[in-house]
Structure 1
Amino acid sequence: MKRYLINILLGTAAITAVSSCKKDEKYTYQIGDPKIELKSPISAANFGDSLEFQVHVSDSEVALSTVKAQLYFTDDKVTETVIRTKQNGDYAGKIYVPFLKDIPDGKATLKFVLQNISQKITEQSFDINLSRPDFPYLTLVTESKSYRMEKVGRNQYAAKENFAAEVKGYIQAPKVGTQGNAMNFGWVNNVINLGSTAEIPFSNSTSGVYPIQFNTLTFQASPFIVVLLNGSQFSRLDDKHAKVELELAQGKTTTFEGIADLQDWWIDPDFFTKAADGTLSFKGSTG
């Protein structure tokens, strides 16, 4: 019995010794011959498009890994689509063209990067002309009603209706072209941003017929009541609160601008004195 156990142990040692002498295989990088061909020539698109493309990819020596479609504004990569390429052949995909504010019509670079499993790559780049979509109209969507905003200038839209002094809603742009997308503009951190349906707090000094406007290039809109205290503008906190930080001197006249019915507002008598002519002076400590 003892001899049998010793033989097994010696055999195991021999196998271990043989295995440890075997050298690791070395992996070769950057080999092969990846090739890519754009089969759907692209020369122009709109901001906000989901740009469709089709490519033929192949490598006669090494298996493929991925093909990437990358969009550059100048030298900045703004979006990318990655497709797994398990075998040679045709592949189709889409890449989103960001709709950003303050970017005029111009050229962008669409780059395709093909990589095989040895990490060897090949690239092709194409210049494309990008334009801001010419929306036929926009829609102001409120809780109770939607209003059509007509085009009144380049990138400029307006709805002129009998509005209340305060109107809350978001703005919707329709799809333009076969590759376009409908877009929403809403209120995010006290500014208008793409992709939100949070209500924009439009405000006018009085109710009545007035225009609500929006610019699809700058994302600027109106009207918003601007309230000033001694020339310093209040910033909105929420629907009922706003603030301004400045230094006031005791006994000095203070002026409010942007409030048409200031005489109807309650003014804290601990901090302001109201004269017979309606003017206000600061009675708190200077600071």
Structure 2
Amino acid sequence: MKTLKYIALSLLVAASTTACKDDPELQTTDIGPEMTVVSVDASGVYGGKVDFEVAMTDRYPLSTLKAQIFFDDEMVAEEVIRTKTDGTYKGAVTLPFYKNIPDGEATLRLVGQNIRFGQTTVERPLAVSRPKPAYLNFVLNDVEYRMEPTGNDYEYAVTDDFPQKPQGYISTPELDDAGSVVTFGYDTETAGIVADSTDPIPYANSNAGEFTITFNLKTFEGSPFIKLLFDGTEMTMLDNDNYYIVTTLTQNQAYTLTGVADFADWNVDLDFFERKNASNPEELSFLPMTGMYKVTANFKHSYLKIEAMKSATELATLNDDGSGAIWAIGGTEVGKPTLKNAYGWSPEDGGMCLARVADKKYQLTLVAGISINASSFDFKFFHQKTWGGEFGGDDITTASDIVKINDSGNLGLVEGKTLDLGGIYRFTVDVTGGNTAAVLTVEKVGEQQLPPADITVNGTQMTQIDVDNYQLELDLTQGQTLTLGGGDAFTPAWINPDFFEAVSATSVKLVPVAGKYRITANLATKVIDALVLKADGSGLATLGDDGHGAVYFIGYGIGSPAAADQPGWTTEKGVCVPESAPGIYKMTAQAGLEGSTTLGQRFRVSGWSGKFFKNRGWDGLGTFSLAPGTEAFLSIAGDGNIEIASGVTLDEGATYCLTLDVTAGNDKPVLSMVKK
């Protein structure tokens, strides 16, 4: 950094105009304010404040006083004070905290300006240095762990019992008399630790327990981070949960993945890899045809995902000669490695690459109850992992007696058929006859035991739908007590309050009116929920002409069991609301931010746009009206959609009760909303 001499200069602002003769002329001056530096700091620390005080007078009204810090010729910080009249002005400008910048000399430039653009500039040298606080804090889940100096230059460390992934940020103590504090978090774009951030740093150890976390206040380097090696080459960290590598994989060649302590328990896509050596689970044999692939290690789902690539940065697509790749995209009833990873019709997130097992033949293997719903599914094959080229109904055929293909090319179960729970099914797409004459074969190639949980309700065993989900249909009366059992003393984390009220840790009572209900239990999320059924159990209940049955919210703003589960305009995901009293349908929920996954936060704080329907379809009600006082929360748009009132935001974490009243008739629905 260079030291520039004291300067007092005037800046001439030239203005050329092409206005009409009646336009006012821009008035400027080449003389700036008179400036006297009363006081200014001669030194500062990175992240700290630099104070200044300047007296200013001028024959014209004043405009601004700017304090600017320059490293060499680059301005790195600026503070602007609005000025009007002659006087003394005080302020402070913050020194930025960059990595690897040495101690040295910067320049503090003070620039005064009047309303006629006349400027005066004063420069002073500023000695700057990197602070060495006595300690740092590692902040994890609002708990502070004191990091002490290690003796290495600017390095701090703390040793404690941590989870395997202690995702926290670093904070300094106060660095100066002004109380300046700098935080350090993670930036995904630069894949490194940066200042002025509290985004969690993805520290990760091979396992949970006692280990040491470090951070260097000069280089911004930290540890530990997981180092994954695929066949000896380090994988790149994509985000907190994903590491990847793009490489050429050769059919039948063995590869190893090292750096994951529990890799023996991970899911490996059996369309792509096979573990042949039980004593060495890190060794994998590649099954499909040789080519370029992206290998992604996903820690969230403990899954090794493989995708065919066209180049180092482009995913493969299906070529006219039948080479390349085919992708499966579908609803929430199909996903790898399990249904927990089913993203629905979201190609970028949920598209699954089929394995090219032979020339012009592609394979997708799914397990009923684990990676595909055994009783209902809907997905189709595409030429790429985006919308566009696809296998329509005229482009693909099948002779399967289990799976059908509709006119749009979507795959589903033949009416009256189900997959065997635990059955391993192989879907093979053959494009030997061309991409518009594909042939699908579906065969059961094995079975896999699902881990049973034996969940019971009042002693009756629930039916296992997949590895996590169970259900039971019962005729119930309002206020009836239900006792949960089995599942290693399964205790719910959340119970839908529209249907149930907790009596104890393992028992509930029914809130709505008497009827037939399908009770559901999810072992992964530990959620107890329900749906209203028709009296004969033939399907979901609908709102009858007499105002009894069930209603469904379809649209945006309401989800269940969390706001992130909003149905959008997907009818089959409509949120079921039961009849709490004759003709009254009530939903009680907390408010949460858009995308909230917190159980119970089912109302978005803003951004509603949806309606209640008589079924999971487009059978609508009459025009909604609002009960007195409800306009403080809701409004009805011109298209009849329910929205949050203009300028209103629900309080995050607060509980609200939304009621639909059809006692005056289905064509006269009335909405009310109160804050509990």
| TM-score, structure 1 normalization | 0.82
- Post-superposition shift, 1:237? 4.3
Report 1 or 2 for greater relative contact order, CA contacts < 8 Å, sequence distance ≥ 6. 1
Deviations 1:92-142 (A, max 9, x none): 111111112222212111001122233222211111111111111111111
Counterpart in 1 of 2:192? 191
What are the within-5 Å matches in structure 2 for residues 266-281 of structure 1? Answer: 266-276=267-277, 278=280, 279-281=283-285
Whose strand proportion is higher, 1 or 2? 1
Question: Which of 106, 109, 112 is residue 107 of structure 2 equivalent to?
Answer: 109
**Contact residue 229 and residue 256 of structure 1 kept, 8 A:** yes
What letter is aligned with 1:122? T
Separation of aligned partners in 2, 1:198 and 1:208: 23
Structure 1 pair 78/207, CA: closer, same or farther in 2 (3 Å)?
Answer: same
Structure 1 pair 240/73, CA: closer, same or farther in 2 (3 Å)?
Answer: closer
Question: Which of 80, 85, 92 is residue 94 of structure 1 equivalent to?
Answer: 92
Counterpart in 2 of 1:252? 253
- Post-superposition shift, 1:162? 2.7
Counterpart in 2 of 1:65? 63
**Contact residue 32 and residue 62 of structure 1 kept, 8 A:** no
Question: Which of 82, 87, 103 is residue 84 of structure 1 equivalent to?
Answer: 82
Separation of aligned partners in 2, 1:195 and 1:90: 31
Deviations 1:188-217 (A, max 9, x none): 314322222222221111333321001122
SS at match of 1:167: coil
Q: List gaps (5 residues or longer) in structure 1.
A: 1-21
Structure 1 residue 265 corresponds to structure 2 residue 266: yes
Structure 1 pair 283/38, CA: closer, same or farther in 2 (3 Å)?
Answer: same
**Contact residue 137 and residue 144 of structure 2 kept, 8 A:** yes
What letter is aligned with 2:91? G
**Contact residue 49 and residue 178 of structure 2 kept, 8 A:** yes
What are the within-5 Å matches in structure 2 for residues 117-136 of structure 1? Answer: 117-136=115-134
What letter is aligned with 1:76? E
For structure 1, which segment, 66-75 or 32-41, has the greater mean C-alpha deviation from structure 2 after superposition?
A: 32-41
- Post-superposition shift, 1:180? 4.7
Question: Which of 140, 143, 155 is residue 142 of structure 1 equivalent to?
Answer: 140
What letter is aligned with 1:172? S
Counterpart in 1 of 2:287? 283
Separation of aligned partners in 2, 1:155 and 1:28: 54
- Post-superposition shift, 1:270? 2.6
Structure 1 pair 108/273, CA: closer, same or farther in 2 (3 Å)?
Answer: same
Counterpart in 2 of 1:172? 171
Structure 1 pair 144/79, CA: closer, same or farther in 2 (3 Å)?
Answer: closer
Separation of aligned partners in 2, 1:239 and 1:72: 36
SS at match of 1:198: coil
| TM-score, structure 2 normalization | 0.37
Q: List gaps (5 residues or longer) in structure 2.
A: 1-20, 292-676
Separation of aligned partners in 1, 2:223 and 2:111: 44
Structure 1 pair 180/49, CA: closer, same or farther in 2 (3 Å)?
Answer: farther
What letter is aligned with 2:253? K
Separation of aligned partners in 2, 1:95 and 1:157: 28
What letter is aligned with 1:199? P
Structure 1 residue 220 corresponds to structure 2 residue 221: yes
**Contact residue 174 and residue 182 of structure 1 kept, 8 A:** yes
SS at match of 1:182: coil
Structure 1 pair 164/24, CA: closer, same or farther in 2 (3 Å)?
Answer: closer
SS at match of 1:206: coil
Separation of aligned partners in 1, 2:163 and 2:142: 12
Counterpart in 2 of 1:17? none
Aligned residues: 265
For structure 1, which segment, 230-239 or 48-57, has the greater mean C-alpha deviation from structure 2 after superposition?
A: 230-239
Separation of aligned partners in 2, 1:94 and 1:234: 45
Structure 1 residue 206 corresponds to structure 2 residue 207: yes
Percent of aligned pairs sharing the same letter: 37
Deviations 1:197-248 (A, max 9, x none): 2222211113333210011222211101111112333334455443221111
Separation of aligned partners in 2, 1:185 and 1:27: 47
Whose helix proportion is higher, 1 or 2? 1
